[in-house]
Amino acid sequence: MPPPAEPSSLLPLPTSVRCTLSDSVLAPLFVREMTVALREAVPAGRETPIVDMLVYAARDCSGFTSVLLEEIVKQYNSVNSGELRNLSILLMELLVSL
């Protein structure tokens, strides 16, 4: 995986995206769908833009970060062990970048 970009070199999130990610109804739905897609649709261990996008959004929006971490913990508690690899990669990337 390439090294993460420096926070100062990243473009800011557009206002409409920031509002959506901060919404108390839409953010959990979005996060749930993205984590399920990551877990089920992406072959285990593969680089994916889903991880990059979630980490990028989490850097810029602390409320979204909380929702994302809560959903990862819920997924860890409810999925079988064969589907944990991509969730672990996402969690590791979040912890390293924040």
- In 3D space, the residue among 87, 55, 57 whose CA is nearest the CA of residue 74 turns out to be 87
Query: Taking the complete model, does pTM exceed 0.75, yes or no?
Result: yes
Domain boundaries defined on the chain: 14-97
**Burial group, residue 46, by CB count within 10 angstroms (0-12, 13-18, 19+):** exposed
Over the range 6-21, which residues count as b (16 or more CB within 10 Å of their CB) and which as e? Answer: eeeeeeebeeeebebb
- In 3D space, the residue among 14, 54, 12 whose CA is nearest the CA of residue 30 turns out to be 54
Tens digit of each residue's pLDDT (9 = 90 or more) over 28-65: 999 999 888 888 877 766 778 888 888 888 887 888 89
